[in-house]
Amino acid sequence: MATYIVLLGPPGVGKGTQARILSETSKLAHVSSGDLFRENLKNETELGKLAKSFMDKGELVPDDVTISMIRDRISRPDCEAGAILDGFPRTPAQATALEDMLAEFGSEVNAVPYITAAESVLVERASGRWTCKAQGHIYHEKFNPPKQAGVCDIDGSEVYQREDDKVETVTKRIRVYFEQTMPLVEHYRTAGKLIEIDGTQPVEQVTKDLLAALKR
Ligand code: ADP
Ligand code: ADP
């Protein structure tokens, strides 16, 4: 049976960083809703144009388009063994849609690591984040700078600061997270799937805790 892991946590806590590492060690596909929206933005698709107006304001893209984008993505062959979902679901309606989708495949959400950190840590991380243009590799100006300033270590493309990583937008996104995504924490706790992880630790320690928790 396929394995589906939902990484839950506020903006900037380190979900993308950990999802990439877990995906490499587990061979599960990394499915990031934010990356998919940014890809659509770059390719100037209709979905990208629609998403941009919400992303720029730090608001969530409407559930219907988000759900159908994820449905398409997890139906691709590279998700046959399962996936690490990063940034989805983010609302109760998305969680229900995910459960329905996976039930169609005869699967379910297996585990939900919930990574946490204080708001000041989130703002410092997200506002110092640098993202690679070609493939979304993640850096931080202080905690994880690229070897050569402005250039991705992995694919040599330019790194840029996301429009929505300005302090004001990050603060708004954290508020949106508390209002719209927090109910999922209780939802998955009640389902016995939530695993709390201390996200304030260095990247390597967070990975160790995640791997140990997922083994159990
Ligand atoms: P999210 O996907 O949850 O928004 P990211 O993985 O993109 O978070 O990380 C946000 C920023 O914080 C990035 O600049 C990343 O390099 C940095 N970061 C991630 N995890 C850690 C950590 N454990 N310690 C310090 N910085 C981190
Ligand atoms: P972060 O890594 O900081 O958590 P993301 O890259 O996941 O941020 O998301 C960036 C933006 O993309 C969000 O502010 C929102 O506008 C949009 N987005 C991403 N995932 C979702 C989702 N599941 N539902 C609605 N909007 C989303």
Tens digits of residue pLDDT in 80-105:
999 999 999 999 999 999 999 999 99
Is 144 inside a domain boundary? Answer: no
Residue 65 lies in a domain: yes
Residue 172 domain flag: no
Residue nearest to atom 5 of ligand 2 (CA): 34
Count: domains in the chain = 1
Examine residue 129 and state whether it is found in any structural domain, yes or no: no
Task: Give me the pLDDT at residue 27, please.
Answer: 83
The answer to the question of residue 153 being in a domain is no
Any domain includes 162: no
Q: Is residue 51 part of a domain?
A: yes
Identify the pLDDT of residue 216: 79
CATH number at residue 73: 3.40.50.300
Pocket probe mutation, ligand 2, options 61, 64, 171, max atoms within 8 Å of Cβ? 61
Cα distances (angstroms) measured from residue 172 to each of 10, 37, 42, 118, 176 = 12, 19, 23, 15, 6
Q: Which domain holds residue 51?
A: 3-117+179-215
For residue 15, indicate whether it is catalytic: yes
Question: Per the domain annotation, does 48 fall within a domain?
Answer: yes
Is 73 one of the annotated active-site residues of the chain? no
pTM: 0.97
The residue from 38, 52, 125, 129 that is catalytic is: 129
CB of 10 closer than 6 A to ligand 1?
no
